Amino acid sequence: MTCSDTLTLTEDQGRPPDTRRARATATRWRRLACLAVRIVLAAILLAAAALKGIGLRMGRTDIGFGGIASGPLIVVLIQFEIALCIWLLSGLYARGAWRVSLSCFSLFACVSLYKGLMGEADCGCFGPIKVNPWLTAVMDLAAVLGLLVTWPARIGPVLPHRWPPVLATASSVILLSAAGAYGATVSVPDYLAASGIGLGHGHFVLLEPETWKGQHLPVLEHIDIGKQLSKGKWIVVMHQHTCPDCPEAVAYFRRLAGQTVGQKDAPRVALIEIPPYESATPAVEAGAPYWAVGRLSDAREWFVTTPVVLSLIDGRVVKVSQGKQNQRESYE
């Protein structure tokens, strides 16, 4: 099946040769335009899905739909983008693929415009690669325009005449979709409940610090200095060496620790590194009696938006600040 007009013999009968040649040339150009749109959009979808996966491996959960989606929904979005990529490249049911693609990129454009109007610096669509939302909005709108210009006006038979390629393509789509569904079930991070690690495959754990306020710190037993943090007042800074905002947060709380040392009832500061570690030794040296240094266990893969700053009293969370929130105002 193609997305170009299909001319039957009866339509061409009686037409002058020049008219038939012009129609044939226009049809070829339309097919080339359609092919170009399919390939470009499929490449964009595949790149976005791959980069989202890399972002998850790096611990970023603020990606997908411009950072609005999080956790398992990101995995679902990745699988959808891969499936739509395969559908576009297969050429099967062109009108259906065009309708779904048009809806998809229209939604992407709306989310990018929203993020741009909110003043966000990163759309979150491409994982660890930061792209201005206004640029992605232009790209999504260009995709919408390309789909409208090359919209299939008429199509021929429901399936191509050559059945072996069709069956091969259909089998590939089914196998890849099944593999994607299986991958989604085994790679969706478990949630860490207040009582500890949630049930499931257990190796991937998604942390949601915003739900911890008023509860015992769920990861306390997975931190090498957890027993020390379970007593007294602490400001716990969870950081990662791949996080661009973490060095500033770590530097600020190190200074705060030095300024408050010796003050009555002043909390101590603990800097907790989240794996994967930067080196065999902690990335930040201990500064006793100013601050303590620890690590979250590398027995699991932790997914969380860093930096995370927690205020603890005897192991219970009383205040939470995460990501790009203004932590200085929260803890001054």
38-69 pLDDT per residue, tens: 899 989 998 888 888 777 665 555 555 544 44
Beta strands in 4-109 (DSSP E): none
Instruction: Among 187, 215, 248, identify where a domain stops.
Output: 187
Q: Are residues 156 and 258 in the same domain?
A: no
Q: Are residues 156 and 227 in the same domain?
A: no
Q: How far is CA 173 from CA 128, 246, 277, in A?
A: 28, 41, 38
Residue 58: inside a domain, yes or no? yes
Q: Are residues 174 and 247 in the same domain?
A: no
Q: Are residues 209 and 171 in the same domain?
A: no
Instruction: Among 187, 214, 249, identify where a domain stops.
Output: 187
Q: Do β-strands 204-206 and 301-303 pair in parallel, antiparallel, or remain unpaired? A: parallel
Residue 274 DSSP code: P
Q: Which residues pair with 142 in a beta bridge?
A: none
User: Of all helices (H) and strands (E), which one includes residue 185?
Assistant: helix 163-187
User: Averaged in consecutive runs of 10 residues, what is the pLDDT profile of the chain (332 residues)?
Assistant: 44 59 72 85 89 69 50 76 87 85 92 87 79 91 90 52 50 54 50 47 73 91 93 93 88 89 86 87 71 90 88 94 61 53
Q: How many CB atoms lie within 10 A of CB 193?
A: 13
Residue 296 has what pLDDT? 93
- For residue 315, the enclosing domain spans 202-331
Count the domains in the chain: 2
Residue 318 has what pLDDT? 95
Answer for the pair 211, 103: CB distance below 8 angstroms, yes or no. no
Residue 195: inside a domain, yes or no? no
Q: Are residues 312 and 171 in the same domain?
A: no
Residue 2: inside a domain, yes or no? no
Please give the distance of CA 312 from its chain centroid, rounded to a whole number.
30
Residue 61: inside a domain, yes or no? yes
Residue 155: inside a domain, yes or no? yes
Residue 216 has what pLDDT? 92
